[in-house]
Amino acid sequence: MHVACNAAEASNDFPELMAHATRAVRLASTLCKRTQFELRNNEKVAKLDDSPVTVADFAAQAVVSLVLERAAPSVGLVAEESASDMRSDGGAVLRRRVTEKVNETLAEEFERTFSEDEVMDAIDRGQTEGGASGSFWILDPIDGTKGFINGRQYAIALALMEGGEVTGGVLGCPNMPGEKIPRGATEIPTASPGCLFVAYKGRGALACALDSSNPFVDGVKISTQKTSHSSEATYMESWGDSIVADHSFTNSLSAAMGVTAPPVRIDSMAKYGALARGDTNMYLRFPPANYREKVWDHAAGAIVVQEAGGVISDGTGKPLDFSKGRFLDIDIGIVATSSAELHATLLETIAKVR
């Protein structure tokens, strides 16, 4: 049996599981960065069925799954991607490329290589239902795939569920600037080495550079930025063409709150990191009524924001319940704010405006 090795000791009272989580996310981030670089430099590759984005999604999921399975075999996994299409004959090219990427990334971590079958099985370890009992991870190997393809923001998002609630979260944001978003900005630039956010229930939230070898030593405590009046608030929403976000609704809603600053549009759960470290005051997300939100799109971000002093709920104020399986049942949308006061004002305004 394998034993956990070269795991950074968690300090700041973070449980050791979170050290494994940050290591897994950092390895996956390295894989994604390399693949995004290839994407930018080879126009053809993005047009093939086995495009690097697909390669990166699958390979990042396998990397996180393999690292965490060895470190904590009893903790299950709920993850976005499935290997089923790759297992067929038509998936042979992609299967080989995913396996190569995984082995390249894990060469130092493991003193062995993985077969294609082992990599496919590692991906499919995440095809579970989750629920309210036991401990399991929730993984989005690349959140914000559109941002990833286009060189904007994306995140590797990993949450820990214990007894029906999210207790831990890690967000690896490989393109996120270390500097705060300036007031009045409508988007953020791409910057290296990116940022890592980590939080655990009752222990607060930390942020550091993504290339830190020990986030529990290098990380600084982060907290949300309160506003004295809701009209001074700034907000973030999905990138321009996202179908999961109704920008006309956020426009009327913010106007009704007296908000004057323009929205900051950012792909992925990098929005939760930005909210947690005080860059802006709200994240507003209103998908169409027939859209079902997935747990992996919010779990890690939710705990990072809450541990930094923020509040998150659906559009009626109901807390998000991550214990119902792979989907989140929400009403109206998902809102996260920097303070309880702003959250109350926002909910009142939603009820009036909708």
**What residues form the annotated binding site for Mg(2+)?**
80, 140, 142-143, 297
69 or 80, CB closer to Mg ion?
A: 80
**Catalytic residue selected from 54, 99, 145, 234:** 145
CB of 353 to ligand A3P, least distance (A): 21
242 is a site residue for ligand A3P (CB under 6 A): yes
Q: Is the peptide bond before 189 cis (omega within 30 degrees of 0)?
A: no
Binding string, residues 195-234; x marks residues near ligand A3P by CB under 6 A: ----------------------------------------
Q: What are the structure tokens assigned to 123, written together?
A: 């991906």
Q: What are the structure tokens assigned to 108, written together?
A: 């130092």
Determine how β-strand 195-200 pairs with β-strand 204-209.
Answer: antiparallel
Binding string, residues 71-90; x marks residues near ligand A3P by CB under 6 A: ---------x----------
Contact 27/37 with Cβ under 8 angstroms? no
Angle at 282 between CA 278 and CA 283, to 5 degrees: 110
The DSSP line for 271-296 is HHHHHHTTS-SEEEE---TT--EEGG
CA distance 294 to 297: 6
In three-state form (DSSP H/G/I as H, E/B as E, the rest C), the secondary structure along 53-108 is HHHHHHHHHHHHHHHHHHHCCCCEEEECCCCHHHHCHHHHHHHHHHHHHHHHHHCC
143 is a site residue for ligand A3P (CB under 6 A): yes
Binding string, residues 272-301; x marks residues near ligand A3P by CB under 6 A: ----------------------x--x----
29 is a site residue for ligand A3P (CB under 6 A): no
Q: Whole-angstrom distance between the N-terminal and C-terminal Cα of the chain?
A: 56
For the question of residue 145 being annotated catalytic, the response is yes
From 141-149, 174-182, 200-208, 211-219, give the range in contact with ligand A3P by CB under 6 A: 141-149
CA distance 291 to 111: 43
Binding string, residues 69-108; x marks residues near Mg ion by CB under 5 A: -----------x----------------------------
Give the helix ranges, DSSP H, for the chain: 16-41, 52-71, 92-106, 116-124, 145-149, 215-218, 247-256, 270-276, 299-307, 340-353
Place of tokens 């996956």: 28
Q: Which amino acid is at 325?
A: G
145 is a site residue for ligand A3P (CB under 6 A): yes
**Catalytic residue selected from 22, 30, 54, 57:** 57
Q: Could you say which of 237, 267, 297, 307 contacts Mg ion (CB under 5 A)?
A: 297
106 or 269, CB closer to ligand A3P?
A: 269
For the question of residue 314 being annotated catalytic, the response is no
CA distance 338 to 324: 26
Q: Which does 244 bind (CB under 5 to 8 A by kind): Mg ion, ligand A3P, none?
A: ligand A3P
Nearest Cα to Cα of residue 135 among 50, 209, 77: 77
CB of 238 to Mg ion, least distance (A): 11
Q: Which does 21 bind (CB under 5 to 8 A by kind): Mg ion, ligand A3P, none?
A: none
From 7-15, 227-235, 256-264, 294-302, give the range in contact with Mg ion by CB under 5 A: 294-302
267 or 307, CB closer to ligand A3P?
A: 267
Q: Which residues bind Mg ion (CB under 5 A)?
A: 80, 140, 142-143, 297
Q: Which residues bind ligand A3P (CB under 6 A)?
A: 80, 140, 142-146, 238-239, 242-245, 267-268, 294, 297
Enumerate the active-site residues: 57, 145
